[in-house]
Amino acid sequence: MEKVLLGFAAALAVGLCAIATGWAQSRIGSAGAGTLAEKPELSGTIIILLAIPETMVILGFVVAAMILYL
C-alpha cells in the first residue's frame, strides 16, 4: 500500500508540474507566434522563452525522484 501511495505521489509531482508547464508554454507559445509574425528576428529569444517554464516540470521530476528513491 505504501508503495502505491509513493508511486501516486511521484506521479502527482510530475503530472501536476507538467500540466502547469504545458499551460505556461501554451500562453508563451501563442504570444511568441504573434511576436514572430511581426519580428521574425526574435525567433531565438522566443525559443528560449518557451523553454523557461520547463523548470517547473524538472523540479517536479526531482521531487518525484526523491519520493521514489530516498
Partner 1 sequence: MNDMIVAMSKVEIIGPMELLLPALDRVRALGLFQVEQEMRGFVDREDEKAFRSVRLDKKTLAERLYFDDLLAKIDQLAGFLPKLPTRCSYLEPHSAVGIVADVVDKHTLLCSGLCRRRDALEGERGELLRQTAFLDALEPLFKTAGEGTDLDFIGVSLKNSEAVDHLYQLIARLTGDTFEFVTTSGPEGAIIVLITLPVELGAKVRDVLNGERIPELAFPASLGQLPFPDKVRAVRRRIGDIGGELDRVNAELQRFAFRWWPTYQCVREWLLDRLALLTTTAAIHKTDLCFFIHGWMPSPDVPRLRSALNGEFQGRVVVEEQEALEEEMEDIPIAIRNPPYFRPFELFTRILPLPSYRSYDPTPFIGIFFPIFFGMILGDVGYGLLLLACALVMLKLFRTRRDLHDAALILLVSSCYAVVFGFLYGECFGGTAGGWRLLEQTCVIERSRSIMPMLAFSLSIGVAHVTLGLCLGFWSTLRRRLVRESLAKLVNILLLLCLAALAVSLFSPFPPPVRKSLNAAVLVAIPLMLLTGGLLAPLEMMKNIGNIVSYARIMAIGLASVLIAQVANRFAGLTGDVLTGAVAGGLLHLINIALGIFSPTIHSLRLHYVEFFDKFMVYGGRRFEPFKKPSG
Give the DSSP letter string of 16-70.
Answer: HHHHHHHHHHHHHHHHHHHHHHH-GGGHHHHHHHHHTTHHHHHHHHHHHHHHHH-
Of residues 24, 35, 59, 67, which one binds partner 1 by CB under 8 A?
59
| Pairwise CA distance, residues 58 & 2, whole Å | 25
Instruction: Considering only the stretches 1-9, 19-27, 28-36, 41-49, report the one whose residues sit in contact with partner 1 under the rule CB under 8 A.
Output: 41-49
Closest approach of Cβ 23 to partner 1, in Å?
Answer: 19
Interface residue list for partner 1 (CB under 8 A): 42, 44-45, 47-48, 51-52, 54-55, 58-59, 61-62, 65, 69-70
